[in-house]
Structure 1
Amino acid sequence: MKSFSSIEWKSSAKNSWEMFKKGCGNIMPTLSKLSKAFLLPIALLPIAGVFLGVGSAIASNSVDGTFGYFFGSLLNKMGDVCFGNLPVLFCISVALAYTKDSGIAAITAVVGFLVMNGMQAALLHTQQADYSSIFVTIDGKKGYHQLYSLIEGTENKFEIKWDTLDFNLQDITGYFTKNNDLYTPVNSNRELIDAAGSVYYSLLWINKIPNGLITSNIGVNSLNTGVFAGIFVGAIAAKCYNKFHQTQLPSAISFFSGTKLVPIVTFVAVIPLSFIFMFIWPYVGMGLAAFGSASGDLPGGLDSFIYEIAERSLVPFGLHHVFYAPLWWTNAGGSIAEAFNRYDLAGLEVGSAKYNEYVKIQTEFVNIWIGNHVGTAVSWGLVTIGDDGKITNIFTDHTQAFLTIKTNISNQFPELWKSMGDQTMAYSVIAKINILNFTDLEALGLNIGRFQSGKFGFMLLGLPMAGLAMWLNVPKENRKEVMGIYFSAAFTCFLTGITEPIEYTFLFLAPWLFYGVHMPLAAISFLFAGLFKTHVSMTVSGGFIDYIVFGVIPYFGSKAMSAKSAFAILGVSAAMAPAYFFGFYFAVKYGNVMVPGRDGSSNVQLATKADYKASKGLNVDGSKIEDGKTSKASAKDAVEEARIQKATKIIEFLGGEANIVDVDACASRLRLTVKDGSLVDKDGIISLGGATGALIRGTNVQVVYGGEQEAIKPRMIKILDEQRKAKK
């Protein structure tokens, strides 16, 4: 047997490592585009969230039928409908991201999404029990103590088969079907139902699919896949477009050539995808729901702490949107239906430890819920109000009251009942705050906001104080010159939660600052936010605007959460301020990090050509500025000229037109795909000004601009088109 020498082993290991690096280099552009795709619908959420939050506050504090009520409901629904249709928005966005913003691909994605869900609707049906297997309970309030078999009667009514005891139909308190000694409730249509009266569904060979896993996707009753199915359909639509939009068919069917062929191919291509989801999603969905519940059982905000370590570590690569999407918008982040169903008493032995534990939780929930929603409790028959306006009677059977609340929510407010994901649930609760609020669900172990509210701790004061600490490390003679850079970035972070200008200032100078100081402190912020159960949601980032909309307004407007939930986050933020300040001050000082201005140069950003000529009293075209002023047209031309020249230089520093494969942008970065990453001059790009850093991973290049990338991208595309046409 031939031995494997150390030289051969080292050669093999080296080749394996090179293959691994090449694979990672190929994956990065794909994931980068996916992350960018997520930003398109996310960009819609801030305005939708503001409308939803403000509308809910107005409606909940107005009398039904008044102008304020209808106006608030109008704003509320305008925002709510965006969150209710996130799957199709993600579907369209993914298709656009992978096809250079093709409208044909977007339409095709919608077609594919409809076809996939339509197939599921055709095969989805409720489960019905045979008459021969149906039983009844008598005086069910005392438990399932006596069962009697039934036979089919006339006019769809049940006729009792008399047994040892006599009773009338009105004595029946419940209908059940028996299967393997397990009794499941059924309704008058013989449909299997859960304890809340919601029907179970069957799909192919899979039975007893919970009602929470079924929803209406743009009018089609199908599996509640969250954003997952939309992402896959969008990817298929993009693939079909890229491959077939220029296909020429034989003359007999040439009408269907090119872009007309794309939706036809996609129509067929989503068929296997639909079956895949039908085969596995009921199991995956129930598994994700179990994960969402189990992660919430971790002690002391540990789930929030672990989440932020993973999320923040992906920020430098622009992949954090991919990570948090399932936790924000699918049942991996929790489910309202699952929060209720996990305390179902069905199948538990009366008097057992678990039975008593669940009854105690149900009692606590009912007491909290009635205290928060007296008006709704009266309309649901759980309490009565005397002439003096005080509660005169409270429903004493808390288990039955819990079931009543659960049944009414699932039947009357299906969108609230079926909402899943940390952010989706938060917005659904805000939309129906008179039915359910954050403290109600807290009693059921559902800590909404656990994957969101921790950001306020380090975005309101933490990172701004880090900016102050870096500025104080700049020599005194240079501080005045660079003050605007630091303080504008700090204020932007505080107001809007946009962290890139500060984060990338130290990330590319000293990555250990990001991973060794910033990431641990951010995770601690999440830990305490989760520990204090701060249910403050957000749009994208945890700035002051989001705090007002999702913390202050819900608290003062409709008491959606407790004072601790609304304001503890300010305490966390106050604690993060000195932690970030001293952590960054000493790390920058003793780590000798050359933050902008500390290297002895006050010129930390290069001027544009327009700035230079303006200082000489000239317009961009070289003509003299009359009366010391430039016309609006000249000023506009000057700005455009500077942008074009900057875009041209960026192309040069990327290795020229021949090395550039794709140009794209997201909220804060210019995202590029090149043929050879070694040809990219990162320092040259940064020297042009405006960029706080650049990242090169294989063929994927990201340049952080903050907002300027939206102006650079279209000009680069235009210049590249002109350069390529000139070569033909």
Structure 2
Amino acid sequence: MSNANKSTIWEFLQSLGKTFMLPVALLAFSGILLGVGSSFSSSAVKTAIPLLDNNGLQYLFMWMTKIGLVAFIFLPVMFAVAIPLGLAREEKGVAGFAGFVGYAAFNLAINFFLTVAGVLDNPTARAAYSVKNIIGIESIDTGILGAVIVGVIVARLHQRYYTFKMPDALAFFGGARFVPIISAIVLGVVGVFIPYIWPYFAAGINSIGHIIEKAGVFGPMLFGTGERLLLPVGLHHILVALIRFTEAGGTMDVCGQTVSGALNIFYSELSCPTTTAFTPEVTAFLSQGKMPAFLGGLPGTALAMYHCARPENRSKIKALLISGVVACVIGGITEPLEFLFLFVAPVLYLIHAILTGIGFMLMGMLNVTIGNTDGNLIDFLVFGVLQGTATKWYLVPLVAGIWFAVYYGVFKFAITRFNLKTPGREVDNTAVDEELQAVFVNESGKGAAVLAALGGKENITSLDNCITRLRLSVNDMNLVDDAKLKALGALGVVKLDKHSLQVVIGTQVHLVKNEMQAIISAS
């Protein structure tokens, strides 16, 4: 692989957003454990299902609840490790280890400042600095933002120093071993200055929270619409993390602890034995807002595209659409359906984004209280149905049904009225051949062809993937053959700037990426 181009802002932000997926995926799974464990151990469920009220099962549910807290309790340190791990091109294990070392040094340096300044012995000062126990260290609670700062700094240090050569007498400390050393030193210095500048960071995040709060019922709508609009360029993870994990998503006292971030608050309420109901203002930014579009609207879109396809092509696109609906409803992965119409009808995508935002707003206005992250059928069952009727889960099928009808009507009218070339409407059948059907089923063997369509291995300067897309940097964007990529089954090609692009493949994208990486590495 040739020397990498200088990182652009777009490339950096999309890469940073991609690194969030590792801790967020664990968080989603941990949330399911926490939801199942807490619901089946509640007195209401034990009364309704006496079979569950025995020691063996209750110990199991208690264990699930405890293990489910792992991602919630240690989320900042997970971000500090995951960011350098995800951004590193080589020596990823060292990068992750250095992330933990840097995070520990960062908090120890803050503790040094607080000790010297006499803050730790002054209850009023402790409260002013938001002192908490962070991985066993009394430090300022910088939350996810502090972890992101640490992760980015460590990632840059790793990129610069993992091949650093020391003098022969100190050669043992050179190369990859030098990365955690320099990370500890640099983050140790940064941590000393954090108490001086952190109030400004906190004020900025709080101002975002105040804007959302002042928006009232429109706050969740702005969030839901903004998240969809940022999705095509891969920056939605940053907005989502801001609301889920920082003061921008609200701050509350739960079980005697001050908790910030919509998802953090929800998990705290879920695990608190004295909590009898979830806070609607918090869950309004979580799973429930996605459910009208994910469980109703996008499946309606798929049916509209199927009915609008040419009769001779319907059998060829059926697998594509069904796979997209399954990914959306069961997994909460929407790109396979959204990218079918994003590029042929951007206005329809804008309408979809607005309707998604309205879904967020409506769920909040109806006081539905279903939390977690994905907005899929699993969240609906675990965090809605299993938590009892207080969540008002029974309103979700009603609203999703309405969204299904609205999406179906809008999309069918627009596709036929404006002759939009959604899948199956092309006269040339090559655009809907078996390769297109296989996008979500079997990507084996496509790596070489996709690599050739991207201009060959010499044109690739960086290669990675997220859930559904290849994320690349190339030397020459003119060598990228969009038409050939789409003929191979790509749902879309997003060019962020003259070097950075994303190729939307589908949920089996990792197979394509691994094949491409093997070809590149073999050179």
- 2:267 pairs with 1:319: no
Residues 507-518 of structure 1: pairs in structure 2 closer than 5 A:
507-515=342-350, 517-518=351-352
Tell me, in whole angstroms, the C-alpha distance in 1 between the residues paired with 2:352 and 2:482: 24
Return the offset for 1:89. 1.1
SS of the residue 2:493 aligns to? strand
Map of 2:89 onto structure 1: 100
Higher relative contact order (CA 8 A, sep 6+): 2
Residues 231-270 of structure 1: pairs in structure 2 closer than 5 A:
231-270=148-187
Residues 541-556 of structure 1: pairs in structure 2 closer than 5 A:
541-555=374-388
Return the offset for 1:252. 2.0
Map of 2:139 onto structure 1: 222
Give CA-to-partner distance per residue, 1:108-159, whole Å, 9 cap, x none.
1100000101122233369999xxxxxxxxxxxxxxxxxxxxxxxxxxxxxx
Tell me, in whole angstroms, the C-alpha distance in 2 between the residues paired with 1:683 and 1:79: 45
Residues 155-234 of structure 1: pairs in structure 2 closer than 5 A:
199-202=123-126, 208-209=127-128, 213-234=130-151
Letter of the 2:297 partner, please give it. G
Q: Which of the residues 434, 447, 454 maps onto 1:647?
A: 447
Return the offset for 1:72. 1.6
Flag structure 1 segments of 5+ consecutive residues without an equivalent: 1-21, 130-188, 193-198, 203-207, 338-405, 411-416, 557-561, 612-638, 724-728
Change (3 A) 1:551 1:276: farther
Map of 1:83 onto structure 2: 72
Q: Which of the residues 336, 353, 378 maps onto 1:501?
A: 336
Equivalent pair of 1:454/1:530 in contact (CA under 8 Å): yes
Tell me, in whole angstroms, the C-alpha distance in 2 between the residues paired with 1:36 and 1:288: 22
Equivalent pair of 1:663/1:670 in contact (CA under 8 Å): yes
SS of the residue 2:260 aligns to? coil
Equivalent pair of 1:37/1:93 in contact (CA under 8 Å): yes
Equivalent pair of 1:664/1:670 in contact (CA under 8 Å): yes
Map of 2:364 onto structure 1: 530
Tell me, in whole angstroms, the C-alpha distance in 2 between the residues paired with 1:579 and 1:498: 21
SS of the residue 1:587 aligns to? helix
- 2:510 pairs with 1:683: no
Give CA-to-partner distance per residue, 1:28-58, whole Å, 9 cap, x none.
2111111110111122123211110011112
TM-score for the superposition, normalised by structure 1:
0.65
Return the offset for 1:521. 1.2
Return the offset for 1:552. 1.0
Q: Which of the residues 397, 415, 425 maps onto 2:265?
A: 425
Change (3 A) 1:97 1:128: closer
Return the offset for 1:458. 0.5
Q: Which of the residues 90, 101, 116 maps onto 2:106?
A: 116
Return the offset for 1:277. 2.5
Tell me, in whole angstroms, the C-alpha distance in 2 between the residues paired with 1:720 and 1:284: 42
Equivalent pair of 1:497/1:542 in contact (CA under 8 Å): yes
Return the offset for 1:658. 2.1
Return the offset for 1:476. 2.5
- Identity among equivalent pairs (%): 30
Tell me, in whole angstroms, the C-alpha distance in 2 between the residues paired with 1:261 and 1:38: 25
- 2:403 pairs with 1:576: yes
Map of 2:298 onto structure 1: 463
Decide which structure has the larger Cα Rg and report it.
Answer: 1
Return the offset for 1:314. 0.4
Map of 1:5 onto structure 2: none
Tell me, in whole angstroms, the C-alpha distance in 1 between the residues paired with 2:161 and 2:117: 42
Return the offset for 1:290. 6.2
SS of the residue 1:477 aligns to? helix
Equivalent pair of 1:450/1:534 in contact (CA under 8 Å): no
Which shifted more, 591-600 or 53-62?
Answer: 53-62
Change (3 A) 1:255 1:478: closer
Tell me, in whole angstroms, the C-alpha distance in 2 between the residues paired with 1:548 and 1:33: 33
Letter of the 2:261 partner, please give it. G
Tell me, in whole angstroms, the C-alpha distance in 2 between the residues paired with 1:662 and 1:668: 17
Return the offset for 1:298. 3.3
Equivalent pair of 2:384/2:391 in contact (CA under 8 Å): no
Equivalent pair of 1:430/1:554 in contact (CA under 8 Å): no
Residues 305-454 of structure 1: pairs in structure 2 closer than 5 A:
305-337=221-253, 409-410=255-256, 417-432=257-272, 434-439=273-278, 441=279, 446-454=281-289
Equivalent pair of 2:287/2:376 in contact (CA under 8 Å): no
Letter of the 1:694 partner, please give it. V
Change (3 A) 1:72 1:110: same
Return the offset for 1:425. 1.0
Give CA-to-partner distance per residue, 1:527-557, whole Å, 9 cap, x none.
2112223221123x2111111111111126x
SS of the residue 1:507 aligns to? coil
Equivalent pair of 2:468/2:505 in contact (CA under 8 Å): yes
Runs of 4 or more, structure 1, over 4 Å off, are 62-65, 125-129, 601-608
Change (3 A) 1:505 1:122: same
Give CA-to-partner distance per residue, 1:593-642, whole Å, 9 cap, x none.
1111111345545556xx9xxxxxxxxxxxxxxxxxxxxxxxxxxx8xx8
Change (3 A) 1:232 1:284: closer
What is the count of residue pairs matched by the alignment? Answer: 505
Map of 1:671 onto structure 2: 471
Give CA-to-partner distance per residue, 1:284-328, whole Å, 9 cap, x none.
3366346536633533x2101111221111011011001110110
SS of the residue 1:34 aligns to? helix
Letter of the 2:383 partner, please give it. F
Tell me, in whole angstroms, the C-alpha distance in 1 between the residues paired with 2:515 and 2:312: 38
Flag structure 2 segments of 5+ consecutive residues without an equivalent: 48-52
Change (3 A) 1:472 1:87: same
Tell me, in whole angstroms, the C-alpha distance in 1 between the residues paired with 2:179 and 2:117: 38
Return the offset for 1:100. 2.3
| Cα RMSD after superposing both structures | 2.8
SS of the residue 1:428 aligns to? helix
SS of the residue 1:506 aligns to? coil
Tell me, in whole angstroms, the C-alpha distance in 1 between the residues paired with 2:193 and 2:423: 52
Tell me, in whole angstroms, the C-alpha distance in 1 between the residues paired with 2:189 and 2:334: 42
Map of 1:346 onto structure 2: none
Q: Which of the residues 347, 350, 355 maps onto 1:521?
A: 355
Residues 697-712 of structure 1: pairs in structure 2 closer than 5 A:
697-698=496-497, 699-712=499-512
Map of 1:136 onto structure 2: none
Equivalent pair of 2:471/2:501 in contact (CA under 8 Å): yes
Give CA-to-partner distance per residue, 1:147-181, whole Å, 9 cap, x none.
xxxxxxxxxxxxxxxxxxxxxxxxxxxxxxxxxxx
Equivalent pair of 2:294/2:328 in contact (CA under 8 Å): yes
SS of the residue 1:201 aligns to? helix
Map of 2:423 onto structure 1: 596
Return the offset for 1:418. 2.6
Letter of the 1:329 partner, please give it. F
Change (3 A) 1:252 1:126: closer
SS of the residue 2:150 aligns to? helix
Return the offset for 1:236. 1.5
Structure with more helix by fraction: 2
Tell me, in whole angstroms, the C-alpha distance in 1 between the residues paired with 2:330 and 2:170: 58
- 2:457 pairs with 1:657: yes
Return the offset for 1:333. 0.3
Equivalent pair of 1:215/1:418 in contact (CA under 8 Å): no
